A = this chain, B = another copy of it.
Amino acid sequence: MMTQVHDVYPTRLEDKRAAFERLDPVVWSDEPARSKGPLSRDQVDFYERNGYLFFDSFFSPEEVKPFLDDLEDYGQDPNLKSRDQVIIEPYADEIRSIFGIHELSPRFDRLTRDPRLLGMARQLLDSDVYIHQSRINYKPGFTGNGFNWHSDFETWHSEDGMPRMRCFSLSILLTENNQYNGPLMLLPGSHRWFVPTHGRTPEENWKASLKNQTLGVPAADNLQAMSENAGLVSPTGPAGSVILFECNTLHASANNLSPWPRSNLFFVYNSVENRLEAPYCGTRPRPEFIATRSSVRPLQPVTNPTTVRVAEPA
């Protein structure tokens, strides 16, 4: 017997539905936790209002260099390239994304547990957190294709069964992001609205959507209306800078025609109170490397997260 689930964020339907105000807080903690840090009161207010924060040079270039070196090594590894968790560019034989990077590499795993990052997560989401998804987007020079407008939550809700908006992404810039190499564009304030998208989701949609997204893209009139308030923003800065954005903030990025790769690391922090259910769009769950379903472990901070301890010889 089918269980009838009431879906508070219906999307991917055959009829077109209007956008509506989100049902969840943006900042989950109340005072005094809200003002406890590490984010300042202004930063928390800015995030609540705009749906993102930018930290220029959060890490030093020296700290992120080993991650970029790893990424280049992965790019040369022919065995890796054939795995499902590695997505190839639609118009070039180059790596577009590697998913589940924190499971592949102890170095990346340790970085997810940086005490400052976990502190921000606790302040904003008011609970322990775990990694819902991790990935690298390579966006190689000349051939890197862009990403169409979308809310991550809209996908994670419909295709992964994430119940509520209690989650954010943290993007760590591994190369300089500048105006030429297809930096992230955000629609400030868009996180306050849920924009249902149109069209049924087929099984294994991710095999197409992670190359070139068409389903789950808001209609042009919705995007137009939301851009009339605050326009667009596109944080740029050196390697080591960090962009934190709410799971429902609409974002996109253009293709990279510059000679410079735009390689960014993404960690998605989800509240342990917001674990995945069955996908709301009725498809089978996506693979574990795209959406953590079984191995939910509250993250514990580590000291010196960007310093890898060399394993002792046996």
Contact = CB atoms under 8 A, between A and B. Distances in A.
Interface in A273-310: none
A179 interface: yes
A19 interface: no
B141 A220 contact: yes
A148 interface: yes
Nearest to A187: B259
Interface in A186-242: 220, 223-224, 227, 232, 234
A257 B146 contact: yes
A146 B146 CA distance: 11
Contacts of A227: 258-259
Contact of A254 (B220, B234, B257, B259): B257
Report, as a range, how many residues of chain A touch the other chain.
20 to 34
Contact of A224 (B223, B232, B259): B259
B142 A223 contact: yes
Interface in A153-195: 179-180, 182, 185
Contact of A257 (B180, B185, B259): B185
Given A142-B220, A220-B141, A223-B142, A255 B255 contact: yes
Interface string A110-153: 00000000000000000000000000000001100010110000
Nearest to A226: B259
Interface string A245-282: 00000001111111100000000000000000000000
Given A179-B234, A224-B259, 16 more contacts: A141-B220, A142-B149, A142-B223, A146-B254, A146-B255, A149-B257, A179-B179, A180-B185, A180-B234, A182-B254, A185-B258, A232-B258, A253-B257, A254-B254, A254-B255, A254-B256
Q: Give the 5 A-B CB pairs with smallest separation, nearest first.
A: A254-B254, A227-B259, A224-B259, A252-B257, A179-B179
